[in-house]
Amino acid sequence: MRSKADATLACAERARAHWNTAEAGIREHAIAIRLIGIAHKLKEDYDAAISAYRESLDLFRSESEQSQDVSIALNIVAGAEVLLGDLDGAERDFREALRIARAFGSGEAVATCTGNLAELALDREDWPGAENLAREALALSEQVGRQELIGINCLSLATALVRQGKRDEAQSYARRAVEICTRLGHSELERARATLAACESESEKSEER
């Protein structure tokens, strides 16, 4: 979560080696491989990341075609597909992850998938669509109470509003995103600060006029 790629990879490799020695089950191996993928993502080696993510997904699916683990794995694969520019593939996998999450009644997974679809809409420059999805994701994440989700969804909503010229409305969401990302030491802090700065500069111009 603090973007320490080398330390993440070292710990993930140790976990995989341990599970190999311990003859652990499929789930433990799948999680270790997914963590290795996360380390590659942090290193911006997206091909290696998605390869590890798909291997992890295949392991989860070997136990069950539909489970919370499969939903999480699909969501992570989709995130890597976004980084590789495959937005259609990402949307397909995000929506499948969301469908499974809803079937299992996982509030956090539903909030996460909905928030990721909001970010995908931002990538597509579908500002109204992103706004609607971000509002839904924020409401869901408030119910779950996970601060990271709340902060990221506030940032997505603020971004969508700014892109539509609604900077006054965006300002409170951007400020909350900055507060949460600062407290967590989150990697999206700079983007949150830039969004808040865009809101505040426009407000200052309005006051001058």
Q: Are residues 117 and 144 located together in one domain of the fold?
A: yes
Note down the domain range covering 7: 1-105
Based on the structure, what is the number of domains in the chain? 2
CA 170 to chain centroid, in Å, comes to 20
In angstroms, the CA 98 to CA 76 distance is 12
**The pTM is what?**
0.85
CA distances from 81 to 23, 54, 74, 105 (A): 32, 11, 10, 25
Contacts of 181 (CB under 8 A, 6+ apart): 151, 155, 188, 189, 192
Q: Are residues 43 and 15 located together in one domain of the fold?
A: yes
Instruction: Give the Cβ contact number of residue 107 at 10 Å.
Output: 15
Could you read off the pLDDT of 18-72 as tens digits, one per residue?
998 888 899 999 999 999 999 999 999 999 999 999 999 999 999 998 899 999 9
